[in-house]
Structure 1
Amino acid sequence: MRRHELEHLIRAAAAVTNEYEIVVIGSQSILGAVADPPAALLQSMEADCYPLKQPELADLIDGAIGELSPFHERFGYYAQGVGPETAVLPAGWQDRLVKLQNENTDLKIGWCLEPHDLAAAKLVAGREKDGPFVQTMLRHGLIQLNTLLDRVQALPVDANAKARLARHAQALA
């Protein structure tokens, strides 16, 4: 997915839900802070999102512009309606959201995760693809290890999990 495609999804999600602000929490939220990230970070053809003020409307996103929808078939990418609980994020993440708003979003707002918050969520998720994603972010200077380690400490997980995630982040660096 490219930035203009994410902008299109924000515009479409806003239209489908009749909401002005959409939160993007998945891997493609990197496109809010980084207009042209490394290709390794652009592999997903979906954006996980929900309306900021009415997250319960995420089902409308799935139904109208989700996987296997006519939208997906036509454009080759789609939005997945999720809830705020989908990602485990560091305390204060809402205050660090990156605003993506322009003519291509029809001036609707896409609130994207700040890259360090995204990386911390990826570490918690711990899927096979998440380590290489975080490693690419580190390698290309999109995030800094010290800030990532601070965000890991702000995660709502127990001390053992924080220590494990910090060791994993250091190994990826």
Structure 2
Amino acid sequence: MAASKVRPLGQDDLDRAIRSVATHFETDTVYVIGSQALLVSQTGLDSRLRMSVEIDCYPGNAPEWEAQHVGFEASEEIAALFGEGSFFHQGHNFFIDGVDETTAILPPDWQDRAVTRTIDDHAGGTVTAVAPSPVDVVAAKLARGADRDLIFAARCIGSGLVTNRAVKQSLEQSLDGEALAQALALVDRASRAKNNPASAPAGFTNAQLLAFLGDLGKVKDEGG
């Protein structure tokens, strides 16, 4: 299958994912994590925060469903039916990544700050999507700390969606020791790059980035 074109996902896509998972697992609650969890509560998001081909979800009744379907995992079921390369993926140009409650590193009280979105299930009922608050979403990204997570965090801080202090407070509840120290340093790096998110992975300020790019140009010229 040809790779999907990365595009800004919208709340219609989110609703489709929520409805699909809820219908298959016969549940009225679906949890959404990852970057696209922002769509649960935010409208008018910068399109650069919505560039993705996946939405991470798990059904609220996953333990009960797995108890009734011995040998099967809800996350694997989602991957098979709605995941990358599935008919769902081909038909809608995005896929659902099956995850569980341990996938994202979240503070113990994240559900106290959770955000929700209730939609029509097209069968006379409703489904509620539950997601971490934007602060906890960004903190979970920085707990992982990949380059794309730093860029995502810098965009969120730059847009005013979250603050440096709030993200640090979330991390302080979910990490400790060296892992916490590293994550806190990444928050500051993302903050410094808020006006130029592409510089976040290298930890450059705008001035440092320009100087670095200038040096690269000189090396290229000198090398012929």
* Mapped partners of 2:20, 2:93: distance in 1: 14
SS in structure 2 at match of 1:40? helix
Q: Distance in 2 between matches of 1:66 and 1:165?
A: 30
1:103-156 deviation per Cα after TM superposition (whole angstroms, max 9, x unaligned): 37862111122101001100011111000000000000011111111111111x
Deviating 4+ runs (over 6 angstroms): none
Is 2:56 aligned against 1:37? Answer: no
Contact kept? 1:28, 1:42, Cα under 8 Å: yes
State the Cα distance separating 1:19 from its structure 2 match: 1.4
Greater relative contact order structure (CA < 8 Å, 6+ sep) = 1
Q: 1:98 aligns with which of 115, 136, 149?
A: 115
Distance 2:167 2:108 in 1: 13
Residue 115 in 1 paired to residue 123 in 2? no
Matched residue, 2:76 = 59
Normalising by structure 1, what TM-score? Answer: 0.93
Output the CA distance in 2 between the equivalents of 1:130 and 1:48: 15
Distance in 1 (CA, whole Å) between partners of 2:75 and 2:179 is 30
Distance 1:58 1:161 in 2: 27
CA deviation vs aligned residue, 1:71-128 (integer Å, no higher than 9, x gap): 1101101111111111111221122221111237862111122101001100011111
Distance 1:59 1:17 in 2: 13
Match of 1:23 in 2: 31
The one-letter code of the counterpart of 1:58 is: S
- With the length of structure 2 as denominator, give the TM-score of the two structures: 0.72
Q: Kindly state the Cα deviation for residue 159 of structure 1 after the two structures are TM-superposed.
A: 2.1
How many angstroms apart in 2 are the aligned matches of 1:160 and 1:66? 35
- What is the DSSP-based 3-state SS (H/G/I as helix, E as strand, rest coil) of the residue aligned with 2:96? strand
Unaligned 5+ runs, structure 1: none
Could you tell me how far 1:59 is from its partner in structure 2? 2.4
| Alignment size in residue pairs | 172
**Counterpart for residue 161 of structure 1:** 179
Over 3 Å counting, the alpha-carbon distance change for 1:40 and 1:131 in structure 2 is: same
Considering only aligned residues, what root-mean-square deviation do their CA atoms show, in Å? 1.6
Cα distance 1:124–1:34, how it changes in 2: closer, same or farther (>3 A)? same
CA distance in 2, matches of 1:103, 1:85: 28
Cα pair distance change 1:104/1:28, threshold 3 Å: farther
Name which one, 1 or 2, has greater alpha-carbon Rg: 2
Give the conservation status (yes or no) of the 8 Å contact 2:119–2:127: yes
- Output the amino acid matched with 2:17: L
The 10-residue stretch of structure 1 (145-154 or 132-141) with the greater mean CA deviation from structure 2: 145-154
CA contact (8 A) 1:32 1:113 kept: no
CA distance in 1: counterparts of 2:96 and 2:149, whole angstroms? 19
Alignment-derived partner of residue 48 in structure 1: 56
Q: CA deviation at 1:40?
A: 1.3
Q: Report the counterpart of residue 142 of structure 1 in structure 2.
A: 161
Q: Which runs of 5+ in 2 are unaligned?
A: 1-8, 64-72, 192-224
Q: Which residue of the partner structure matches residue 69 of structure 1?
A: 86
* Percent identical residues: 29
1:7 aligns with 15
